[in-house]
Structure 1
């Protein structure tokens, strides 16, 4: 048995709701776009592809440790763009240096588990919709309408290991958390056990 797997961050509900309100006119204006479900919005740090289920326990251990020792990241959703006029996204602002360092750490940990994957350049974004092959204009137009959007800052509180059903039938893509770990648990534990200052 295999599962398509990636490691990601997810915006909190308030940030997703804020962007969804901004997108409401686009939902009506571009009905032929295949819009992602809001609950599936995520920022991919490492796409690992199709993996045997036996690799998941290995990933759980190293990712849990990494999340526990890493502080939460301050991020925000901002603007919009597209890849090849086919994929609509919202951009990511905030602590991008920290985001890139976290992604590099995650990818190195995955490799340390003996898992081979295609190491694509990180381009932090939140995928919103995909166009149909006969619709080359909706995605660029929708992206242009997002240009001035700047969402409120938020903290990425958890590191998510996610599985998807891509390639498993004609229905829409669905994602589910295999597991998620809170950032900074080890840091908080050290702070609470530190002796009181005189």
Structure 2
């Protein structure tokens, strides 16, 4: 069995800048488990535990979707910080995206539909492209964290560098006490 997900990886310089944002937010001393910067990514589809013999079918379906859709390179910019599910009871701190979101949504929908025959249910929640920066563990100092996030929202924060996405990556996630390690299993050029 392999714990798999399909995602868009980010360039190292973008991850480094997001690390700086995490460090700034961490000054709130809120109880947040921050995602290791090297692990920040944009999830397209979480598959969970998959038998090894099913992985070739998954790869084939992804290739079919990309051949049919031909999305080409995707361009994004990281803009805005927020929380899920809402500011009153936040559980996840995220950075938002702007750019080729319509193409990304079509790609996501096509992937979802292609995986149904393989036994993976369609995601019922609306697709909100985001980068998870941290998971809030308790309400301790949560207000201080929200005040920090609000300062970014007030100045309409964004990273100046655009991101050009040239591939999707099928990752295997290996869980460790210090956090998950993501191992690329297959890369799919766009």
TM over 0.5: yes
Alignment of 1:109-128 (within 5 A): 109-112=114-117, 114-119=118-123, 120-128=125-133
CA shift, 1:87, in A, is 0.7
User: CA, structure 1 residues 138+110, in 2 after alignment: closer, same or farther (shift >3 Å)?
Assistant: farther
128-137 vs 70-79, which moves further: 128-137
Structure 1: runs of 5 or more not aligned: 184-198
Match of 2:184 among 169, 177, 183: 177
Structure 2: runs of 5 or more not aligned: none
82-91 vs 28-37, which moves further: 28-37
Instruction: Give the TM-score normalised by the residue count of structure 1.
Output: 0.79
Instruction: Give the TM-score normalised by the residue count of structure 2.
Output: 0.81
Q: How many residues align?
A: 179
Task: State the superposition RMSD in angstroms.
Answer: 2.3
Give yes or no for contact 1:7–1:160 (8 Å, CA) kept in 2: yes
Alignment of 1:140-159 (within 5 A): 140-147=146-153, 148-151=156-159, 152-159=161-168
User: CA, structure 1 residues 81+182, in 2 after alignment: closer, same or farther (shift >3 Å)?
Assistant: same
Could you say which structure has the larger radius of gyration?
1
Give yes or no for contact 1:88–1:140 (8 Å, CA) kept in 2: no
